[in-house]
Structure 1
Amino acid sequence: MPGQARLDYPFLRGGGAMGRAITAHDWASTPLGAISGWPSVLKISAGTMLQSAFPKCLCWGDDLTMIYNDAFVPILGRKHPCLGIPFLEVWKEAADSLAPITARALAGEATFIEDFEIHTTRSGTMESAYFTFCYSPVRDETGLVRGMLDTVMETTAKVKANSLAQLRNRELVHRSRNAYALVSALVNLTFRSGRPSEEIKSEIHKRIAALVRAQDLLMEAGATRGLLRLVAERALEPFEDGGARITITGPDIAIGREQVTALSLALHELATNSIKYGALGSLTGQVTLGWQVTGTRFRMDWTERGGPPVQIPATQGFGSRIIRYTLPEAFGGALSLDYAPEGLHLSLSTAADRLLADDPFAADAVLPELPR
């Protein structure tokens, strides 16, 4: 058949797979009629199109009957093969968007559009795709518009990459604001304690280090979320003394960015207080951090045992505010603190679907307004 095609239709030479498909197609059943009767302008246009390595589709007549080259096949996806079918029928799901542009081409006006979005079912399901294309009129020797040439390049990957880059830039700006707000609140509230300056300086350094660890984890985990276990291990690592006195248990659960930051700071404060007043300040003390999802509920518990008798703190400092207010607000849940004599017990509970519910751009700061 390829040899016969060269004899009968020399304008299709070098036309690749689509050149052979055009040769074999039953054009007599289409408005174009048998290929042997095609006018010279159609043959020349089709032959020129087939020689191009750029995606092209020649749409002929008022019905825009389709002829296309090999490079156009990936554009079509599952719509291929569709030789001899009207262009707007093939792209019927996007016809409302494309029809005005094709009408301008048939009226003699070329249109060039960059990154044009259409919604298409070419993959089998509805999807958004982006194209840079030119619909240009094709005229015969008398100047009459006989069809339209669609020269197109898909830009879906580029558009999505640009969108992702913009999202990451917004995330960077937002995170910078969060970090500034956190450090400002951290410094201001720590200084209110009235403690000696050297003690305040040490406390600020430790708290900023906890914040840095949380931000490092977010960068490693893809900028907007992290695994709860990694957050816990990273936050509590500085408090391990080699005696394995901190036990962490629970399934792998992803949590949102604001939850990562709040939990990291809260665990730092809990461990610091435990060293000063609780189980980690005793050689025999133990801390267990565990969490679980039961049905639609998430629960996390911090439990201390083996330390000195627990006393309810007389005042609330920055650490207490982080634990009592910031932590439950970030998780959209409820927190309870039990200062039992045998050891502190904290419990945080929330709906499981709240774990990734935080909007990356919903607020300008992680810390809420804390009570004075």
Structure 2
Amino acid sequence: MDSRTPQQFDFLQDGGETGALIRSYDWSETSLGPIPSWPQSLKTTVALMLRSPVPMVLLWGPDGIMIYNDAYTVFAASRHPRLLGSKVLEGWAEVADFNANVMRVGMAGGTLSYRDQELTLYRKGVPERVWMNLDYSPVIDESGRPGGVLAVVVETSDRVKTEAALRDSETRLRGVLDGMGESLALLDKDFRIIDMNAEALRLEGRPRDEVIGKTHWEAHPDADPALGDMFRRAMATREPVNMRHRYVWPHGRVSWISMHAYPVGDGLAVFYGDITEQVESEERLRESEERLRLMADAVPQIIWITDAEGNAEFFNRQWFLYTGAVNGPTTAAQTALDFVHADDEAVTMQAYEEARRTGGVFEVEHRIRSKEGEYRWFLVRAEPYRDLRTGEIVRWFGVSIDIHGRRVAEEHQSLLINELNHRVKNTLATVQSVASQTLRNAESTDQAKEALEARLFALSRAHDVLTRENWEGADLYDIVEQAVAPYSSRGEDRLHLAGSRVRVPPRTALALAMALQELATNAVKYGALSNETGAIRIAWSVQATGSEPRLHLRWEERGGPAVRPPSRRGFGSRLIERSLSQDLGGTTRIEFPQTGVICTVDAPLA
């Protein structure tokens, strides 16, 4: 014991800063009086209080004179040390009513306890809301009655504010989560559902207690097993996973659900939503696209679609069947470059760019290469499809129609017309020449008429043969047969034809028909057909000599009257020799042996 410290102050030892202040304080100015006069119960209580790490204050006597420890000075803040030795109702005037009740209850021997009691104090000169845990107990003095009230003061302001902030945060978070259009469920490490937002509960369609607190498998026993596997994978790898699945809810409703599971802490946050309408719309779209494809593939023409910039989006089956391509071209320009005839490429792209510039119909005729390497003509036509809101072109829908037959027919028709013009002119020239020569050499009008008709009929019959063959040529047998048919009588066998089926050009056919008619007319008048025993043999063959095949035809008369060479060449002979030689580009020779007329023709078949 320190000899310098009076024994009556021993209870203040180890009392810290506040203990020193208590010893130096002039208590005689208070109802407690000097320290040496304090009752032992007061000293004992003060000694206990000073050594406590918990904020404590003793309100002694009817006035509630305040004595406190070091821990309480932190709570008192700037009011320390003024509060020491003051009356509690005056020291904390802003909460005088509260403390008056404390004194009344405590001095009557009662206790009080408050948890997170909210008070407004002026500890730092400004009003401040604080929260405290307060416990008040009476202190019994030597008379056996309460001499004061001991208060344990623990400020909980930080915790209360933190919890309030947390509750506010949770409330806001709950508001955000419940306002989400997507469902959210929180699962712990055991896959137990610990919380769900409002949308998730709405989607569940059942009370909260039937889902919360249960594992995924307990709450959804009929769920796709792959969903549970997805949760396990997310939990094991701690990486997000996604899944779309068909689910039958406990109440029987069937839905398509899209799920995304994200690891959070040691559990999972599962976001999911009902995408039934989306899936059904996608299915309807797929069915619509499939119907469109089936319809497009059933069309015998090529159907195609590009976007506004000419990037290919669709080609039907006919394109691949015709071109043999495995993949469709990527752009209109590539189509023109890879498949359109080089002579048509520039015209095609010019027409396409013009249609894009003006927004009009794209139409062009061009040739497209087939898988065999051949080109066929197609009519290509496409119309723009516009956005209903903006009016801008977003796609081109086109069709490529095979018009090769029409184009060939048109070209052939044009060729035929030109050929017809040429043939008509030649025929008229021939008729004019025949008529002129016939009239000039005829001895009478009747003779002229007869010769002219015969020659024109021969020309007509040859024309008939050529017309049947579209003027592309004729079979030599048909020409010979038609030329001598008028001179063949039923039951007679006087005309003998011998030769193979040989195609001859139109010019050759006409020239031979006219020549054979002249020979047959002379045979009727003067030769083998002028009696009843004569016969004619017409034979021909084709010989491959030199660079091109040549036709050899021989007219030979037998059994007719004896023949004498004519004193002069008539029109018929000149027609045969000169016309055949000129028209056929070969040689023709008529001989007059006594046995019968012989005419030989040698001409190229080109």
Q: What TM-score does the superposition give when structure 2 sets the normalisation length? A: 0.47
1:323 aligns with 2:567: no
Counterpart pick for 1:160 among 389, 408, 413: 408
CA distance in 2, matches of 1:76, 1:341: 71
1:89 aligns with 2:334: yes
CA distance in 1, matches of 2:412, 2:501: 27
1:80: how far off?
Answer: 5.3
> Deviation string for 1:253-280 (max 9, x for gaps)?
1112222221111101111112222222
Structure 1 residues 53, 8: closer, same or farther in 2, change over 3 A?
farther
> Deviation string for 1:163-218 (max 9, x for gaps)?
33333444444443333322222221111114022222222222222122112222
Structure 1 residues 267, 108: closer, same or farther in 2, change over 3 A?
closer
Which residue of the partner structure matches residue 112 of structure 1?
362
Structure 1 residues 339, 198: closer, same or farther in 2, change over 3 A?
same
Alignment of 1:1-372 (within 5 A): 8=282, 10-16=284-290, 19=293, 56-60=303-307, 64-69=311-316, 73=318, 77-79=322-324, 82-83=327-328, 85-91=330-336, 92-94=338-340, 96-97=345-346, 98-104=348-354, 109-114=359-364, 116-118=365-367, 120-134=368-382, 136=384, 148-241=396-489, 242-295=491-544, 296-352=549-605, 354=606
Q: Is the contact between residue 59 and residue 65 of structure 1 (CA under 8 Å) also seen in structure 2?
A: yes
Q: Is the contact between residue 133 and residue 150 of structure 1 (CA under 8 Å) also seen in structure 2?
A: yes
- The one-letter amino acid of 1:82's match is N
- The one-letter amino acid of 2:444's match is P
- The one-letter amino acid of 2:315's match is Y
**166-175 vs 232-241, which moves further:** 166-175
1:105: how far off?
Answer: 5.3
Q: Is the contact between residue 351 and residue 362 of structure 2 (CA under 8 Å) also seen in structure 1?
A: no
Structure 1 residues 51, 147: closer, same or farther in 2, change over 3 A?
farther
Q: Is the contact between residue 18 and residue 68 of structure 1 (CA under 8 Å) also seen in structure 2?
A: no
CA distance in 1, matches of 2:576, 2:330: 66
Q: CA RMSD in A?
A: 3.5
Aligned residues with identical type, % of pairs = 22
CA distance in 2, matches of 1:105, 1:333: 58
Structure 1 residues 194, 234: closer, same or farther in 2, change over 3 A?
closer
Which residue of the partner structure matches residue 40 of structure 1?
none
- For structure 2, the residue ranges without an aligned partner over 5 or more in a row are 1-277
Q: What TM-score does the superposition give when structure 1 sets the normalisation length? A: 0.73
**Which has the larger Rg?**
2
Other structure's SS at 1:330 match: helix
Higher RCO (CA 8 Å, separation ≥ 6 residues): 1
Which residue of the partner structure matches residue 114 of structure 2?
none
- The one-letter amino acid of 2:408's match is K
- The one-letter amino acid of 1:8's match is E
Q: Is the contact between residue 279 and residue 305 of structure 1 (CA under 8 Å) also seen in structure 2?
A: yes
CA distance in 1, matches of 2:534, 2:298: 80
1:347: how far off?
Answer: 1.2
Structure 1 residues 108, 268: closer, same or farther in 2, change over 3 A?
closer
